[in-house]
Amino acid sequence: MSNENRDHLLDALSLEVAELQAATDQMDEAVAQRLEINRTDLRCLGLLFARGPLSAGQLAAASGLSPGAATTALDRLERAGYALRTRGAHDRRSVLVELTPLARQRIEELYGPVGREGRQLLDRYGDEELRFLSAFLRDGLALQVKHAALLRAGESSSSAASQLETDTSLED
């Protein structure tokens, strides 16, 4: 494949990833509206759904929120009936946050259909292709997390790109 064709393919793939991210954002916005919560609260619900019960501190760290902002989000989620604070089984001083049955029901109701259809789409791929897709998604996740952390720290993404070029050249 010529460099020009490869560049075109890479550009097209980059655009498709950006469009997928935008469509995911639209889906999340629609779910947040249906749940009558904001996007920050939805992010917290998603983390609790994916990871199970978390302490408020763990939830704050995972969501990128300050402890105070995480507490405020948890207060809203409790009022909405979607989250519950419970005492730890082994340490009564610790507090865990977990989803309520209502939250689980609503999440399944809203995200379940797209998850099932997505699973059907994946069924057409072989095991090697699925391993490739999984690696691509893990790499993409790491890239997004890295750049979000750099931006939060006040660094530019261009410094991260320079670091990536350095890291890549060391592998060659």
CA-closest candidate to residue 28, choices 17, 40, 10, 14: 40
For the segment 87-108, what is each residue's pLDDT rounded down to a tens digit?
Answer: 867 766 778 999 999 999 999 9
Could you tell me the CA-to-CA distances from 25 to 37, 42, 47, 140 in Å, in that order?
15, 12, 16, 16
Q: What pLDDT, in 10s, does the model give residues 35-74?
A: 999 999 999 999 999 999 999 999 999 999 999 999 999 9
Look at residue 168 and tell me whether its pLDDT is greater than 80: no
Confidence class for position 158, pLDDT limits 50, 70, 90: low
Amino acid identity of residue 6, one-letter, is R
pLDDT of residue 90: 73
The mean of the pLDDT values for the chain is 90
pLDDT of residue 50: 96
pLDDT of residue 3: 87
| Contact (CB, 8 A) for 80 and 36 | yes
Kindly indicate whether the domain formed by 3-124 is annotated with CATH number 1.10.10.10.
yes
Confidence of residue 165 (pLDDT cuts 50, 70, 90): low
pLDDT level of residue 157 (50, 70, 90 thresholds) = low
* pLDDT level of residue 163 (50, 70, 90 thresholds): low
- pLDDT of 161: 57
Cα 161 to Cα 104, 157, 164, 166, 167: the distances in Å are 39, 6, 5, 9, 10
C-alpha to C-alpha distance for 165 and 172, rounded to whole angstroms: 11
**Residue 74 confidence (pLDDT):** 96
Tell me the per-residue pLDDT of 30-46, one tens digit each, with 9 for 90 and over: 999 999 999 999 999 99
pLDDT at residue 166 tops 60: no
The pLDDT of 14-22, averaged and rounded, is 96
